[in-house]
């Protein structure tokens, strides 16, 4: 499958080029991502955290938003995501929610940690019970909040996802 392999390399090189562009333009961290459907790039993005003041503007998230807008859908089945670095926990969550078929990555999270992009603490937090996490997360007003869940479960014309 030499041709398939070279196609994967082509898409990854595009993601890598975006990561380099991000650094050179001063728009964000050294991360790029593209989303491919049917052999065509439908979204390309790089990290924009510092340029648009959005801590969620990681390359993968920006690319997922672009792809969904382009395809006018909230599900990216049939799509592949190429990211220049192994996704952080936030992006990994977004990737699962987006339903992309597959993820290709280049740099590892250890490579990212070496240049001070260390998301290991988030993985460690996830393993802890809520009460032991460094971020205080406090439950209040569950009874009132459950109203929306009840409405949802009874709604007949809802758009499930
Ligand atoms: Zn991320």
In tens, the pLDDT along 70-87 reads 999 999 999 999 999 999
In the residue annotation, 60 being an active-site residue is answered as yes
Q: Which is it for strands 79-85 and 40-46: parallel, antiparallel or unpaired?
A: unpaired
Q: Which of 7, 40, 60, 124 is catalytic?
A: 60
Ligand 1 centre distance from Cα of residue 97 (Å) = 14
Q: Cα(119) to centroid of ligand 1, in Å?
A: 9
pTM: 0.93
Beta bridge partners of 33: 45, 83
State in Å: Cα 157 to ligand 1 middle.
34
Place of tokens 């993968």: 60
Q: Model confidence at 4, in pLDDT bands (50, 70, 90)?
A: low
For residue 2, report the distance from its CA to the centre of ligand 1, in Å. Answer: 30
Alpha carbon of 139 to those of 90, 130, 145: distances in Å?
Answer: 22, 10, 11
**Pairing, β 32-37 against β 40-46:** antiparallel
CB-based contacts of 51, cutoff 8 Å, min separation 6: 26, 27, 28
The 10s digit of each residue's pLDDT in 88-146 is 999 999 999 999 999 999 999 999 999 999 898 999 999 999 999 999 999 999 999 99
Q: Which residues make up the environment of ion ligand 1, defined by Cβ < 5 Å?
A: 58, 88, 90-91
pLDDT(36) > 80 = yes
């Amino acid at each position: 499958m030499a041709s398939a392999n070279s196609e994967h390399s082509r898409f990854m090189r595009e993601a890598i080029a975006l990561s380099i562009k991000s650094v050179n333009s001063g728009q964000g961290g050294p991360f790029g991502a593209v989303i491919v459907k049917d052999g065509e790039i439908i979204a390309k993005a790089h990290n924009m955290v510092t340029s648009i003041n959005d801590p969620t503007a990681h390359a993968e998230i920006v690319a997922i938003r672009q792809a969904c807008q382009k395809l006018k859908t909230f599900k990216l089945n049939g799509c592949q995501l190429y990211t220049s670095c192994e996704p952080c926990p936030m992006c990994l969550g977004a990737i699962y929610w987006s339903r992309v078929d597959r993820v290709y990555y280049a740099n590892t999270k250890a490579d990212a940690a070496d240049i001070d992009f260390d998301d290991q603490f988030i993985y460690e937090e996830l393993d802890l019970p809520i009460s032991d996490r460094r971020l205080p997360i406090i439950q209040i007003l569950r009874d009132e909040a459950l109203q929306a869940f009840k409405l949802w479960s009874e709604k007949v014309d809802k758009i499930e996802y």
